[in-house]
């Protein structure tokens, strides 16, 4: 499908009952971290030079999207700028991207607008500028508060920069989130407790904690293969997850998704909840994924749900758009069975749970077995909801396999 312009969308005739959000991928970083397999480029990697073309190309994709979604009047309810490191762009550039969203789709009055940020690449001024441009939320990649862990992760920021950045963000009126990583080679349980305590002490509105996955093809993957580093075993990872949940709960944070905790339900990340509840979104930028659910066109024809993703290289992405072509790399039509499977896979991860009746096929026996094994909450099941227990959150993939 590569070079051909994508077929124009069949615009929905009326509201489809789903929210619409926009993701913007900024594929640049100051350094590439050893564990990172994201679509991002650092100085010295040839693609980094296309940083200068990036904003123009992203705005061009929005124009293309407007054309493709003609007739769909839904404004964006959430915007999420991720990366890479979005703050490799200055505040004006980020503001220009947000303006692009406003002009293309409009922004609902209560929109949640998040950007990820590196604690090193923000200032009091830049955060204030982002807030006045319409950003409401900032998510800092803290990862750890322990220097040797940060060093293993190739993170360049100093732990004290995080504190400064969070303070400035709060001053600017932005909601704050901290990302943490656990299970880094060499990280002890005590190290992890120290990071949790440091994050909690900063009183963010929201915390995400991810187990480190060492992917083959990354620098860390190579080190692992050569035996230079040793992966933290699954049992220790489980201990760390349980420590995070206990420590965060004690500090007043509740889990709302397997890897996410917030101070109040209102502090949960609405953009991510939209992913987990299969809302529609358009992903702008190199390698970004988009999803539009099943819809009905003006002629009354049904269009199936589809997911598609852009070419990965920023240079090719920009060239396509400059030539008036779609940056789409590949498109995947999703059958009702695919959607049903995805729905279970995503919704089961949420603290709000999922109605048992929404399972693609009745699985009374599987549900009973999961309750018996302590993966699903029994009271919730009797009340008709699939809700993971703490043990179940750690075995969520096994639970999903049993339920589908």
Partner 1 sequence: MTTDPRIVPAATAPELLRNFCIIAHIDHGKSTLADRMLGITGVLEERLQKAQYLDRMDIERERGITIKSQAVRMPWHVEGSPFALNMIDTPGHVDFTYEVSRSLAACEGAVLLVDAAQGIEAQTLANLYLAMENDLTIIPVLNKIDLPSAEPDRYAAELAQLIGCDVDDVLRVSGKTGEGVPELLDRVVRDIPHPVGDANAPTRAMIFDSVYDSYRGVVTYVRVVDGDLKPREKIAMMSTLATHDLLEIGVISPEPTPTKGLGVGEVGYLITGVKDVRLSKVGDTVTRAKGRAETSLGGYRDPKPMVYSGLFPLDGSDFPVLRDALDKLQLNDAALVYEPESSVALGFGFRCGYLGLLHLEIVRDRLEREFNLDLISTAPNVVYTVRMEDGKEITVTNPSEFPGGKIAEVREPVVKATILVPSEFIGSVMELCQERRGQMGTMNYISETRVEMHYTLPLAEIVFDFFDQLKSRTKGYASLDYEPDGEAASDLVKVDILLQGEQVDAFSAIVHKDAAYAYGVSMVGKLKDLIDRQQYEVPIQAAIGARIIARETIRAIRKDVLAKCYGGDISRKRKLLEKQKAGKKRMKNIGSVEVPPEAFIAALSTSDDSAAKGKKK
8-state DSSP, 86:
G
What are the DSSP calls for 90-133, one per residue?
Answer: -HHHHHHHHHHHHHHT-EEEEEEEEEEE-GGG--HHHHHHHHHH
**140 lies in the binding site for partner 1 (CB under 8 A):** no
Task: Write out the binding residues for partner 1, residues 195-234 only, by CB under 8 A.
Answer: 209-211, 213, 234
**281 lies in the binding site for partner 1 (CB under 8 A):** yes
Rounded to the nearest angstrom, the gap between the alpha carbon of residue 404 and the centroid of all alpha carbons in its chain is 24
* Closest CB 276 distance from partner 1, rounded Å: 8
Q: Which stretch binds partner 1 (CB under 8 A): 62-70, 215-223, 247-255, 334-342?
A: 334-342
182 forms beta bridges with 211
Q: Kind of pairing, strands 76-83 and 20-26?
A: parallel
| Binding residue for partner 1, selected from 34, 309, 347, 359, defined by CB under 8 A | 309
Q: Measured between alpha carbons, how far is 329 from 317 in angstroms, rounded to an integer?
A: 9
Q: Where are the alpha helices (DSSP H) in 145-269?
A: 147-152, 159-171, 189-201, 219-225, 234-250
8-state DSSP, 48:
G
Return the number of the residue (58 or 375) whose C-beta is nearest partner 1.
Answer: 375
Return the number of the residue (91 or 269) whose C-beta is nearest partner 1.
Answer: 269
* Closest CB 241 distance from partner 1, rounded Å: 7
Q: Measured between alpha carbons, how far is 119 from 364 in angstroms, rounded to an integer?
A: 48
* Closest CB 192 distance from partner 1, rounded Å: 14
User: In degrees to the nearest 10, what's the CA dihedral of 152, 154, 159, 165?
Assistant: -150
**163 lies in the binding site for partner 1 (CB under 8 A):** no
**338 lies in the binding site for partner 1 (CB under 8 A):** yes
| Binding residue for partner 1, selected from 169, 178, 288, 386, defined by CB under 8 A | 288
> Are 74 and 19 spatial neighbours (Cβ–Cβ below 8 Å)?
yes
* Closest CB 299 distance from partner 1, rounded Å: 29
Q: Measured between alpha carbons, how far is 224 from 216 in angstroms, rounded to an integer?
A: 9
Which residues lie below 8 Å from residue 188, measured CB to CB, with a gap of 6+? none
**331 lies in the binding site for partner 1 (CB under 8 A):** no
**317 lies in the binding site for partner 1 (CB under 8 A):** no
**396 lies in the binding site for partner 1 (CB under 8 A):** yes
Task: Write out the binding residues for partner 1, residues 3-32 only, by CB under 8 A.
Answer: 23
The residues of the shown chain that bind partner 1, judged by CB under 8 A, are 23, 209-211, 213, 234-235, 237-238, 241, 258-259, 272, 275-276, 281, 283, 287-289, 291, 307, 309, 332, 338, 341-342, 345-346, 349, 373, 375, 391, 393-398, 400-401, 404
């Amino acid at each position: 499908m590569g070079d051909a312009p994508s077929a124009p969308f069949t615009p929905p005739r009326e509201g489809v009952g789903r929210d619409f959000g926009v993701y913007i991928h900024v594929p640049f970083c100051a350094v590439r971290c050893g564990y990172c397999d994201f679509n991002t480029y650092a100085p010295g990697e040839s693609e980094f030079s296309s940083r200068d073309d990036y904003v123009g190309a992203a705005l061009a994709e929005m124009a293309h999207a407007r054309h493709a979604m003609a007739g769909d009047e839904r404004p964006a309810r959430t915007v999420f700028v991720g990366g890479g490191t979005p703050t490799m762009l200055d505040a004006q550039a980020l503001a220009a991207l947000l303006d692009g969203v406003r002009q293309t789709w409009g922004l609902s009055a209560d929109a949640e607008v998040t950007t990820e940020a590196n604690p090193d690449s923000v200032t009091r001024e830049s955060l204030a500028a982002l807030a006045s441009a319409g950003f409401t939320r900032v998510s800092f990649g803290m990862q750890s508060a322990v220097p040797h862990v940060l060093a293993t992760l190739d993170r360049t920021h100093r732990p004290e920069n995080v504190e400064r950045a969070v303070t400035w963000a709060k001053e600017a009126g932005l909601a704050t989130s901290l990302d943490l990583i656990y299970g880094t080679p060499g990280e002890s349980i005590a190290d992890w407790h120290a990071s949790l305590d440091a994050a909690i002490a900063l009183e963010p509105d929201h915390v995400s904690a991810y187990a480190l996955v060492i992917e083959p093809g990354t620098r860390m993957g190579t080190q692992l293969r050569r035996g230079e580093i040793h992966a933290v075993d699954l049992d220790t990872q489980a201990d760390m997850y349980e420590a995070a949940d206990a420590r965060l709960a004690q500090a007043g944070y509740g889990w709302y998704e397997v890897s996410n905790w917030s101070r109040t339900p209102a502090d949960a990340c609405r953009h991510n909840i939209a992913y987990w509840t299969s809302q529609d979104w358009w992903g702008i930028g190199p390698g970004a994924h988009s999803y539009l659910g099943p819809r009905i066109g003006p002629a009354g024809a049904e269009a199936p749900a589809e997911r598609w993703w852009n070419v990965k290289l920023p240079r090719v992405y920009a060239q396509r758009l400059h030539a008036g072509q779609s940056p789409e790399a590949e498109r995947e039509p999703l059958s009702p069975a695919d959607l049903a499977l995805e729905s279970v896979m995503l919704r089961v991860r949420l603290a709000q749970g999922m109605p048992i009746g929404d399972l693609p096929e009745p699985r009374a026996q599987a549900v009973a077995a999961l309750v018996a094994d302590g993966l699903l909450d029994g009271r919730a099941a009797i009340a008709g909801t699939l809700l993971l227990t703490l043990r179940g959150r750690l075995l969520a993939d096994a639970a999903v396999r049993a339920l589908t």
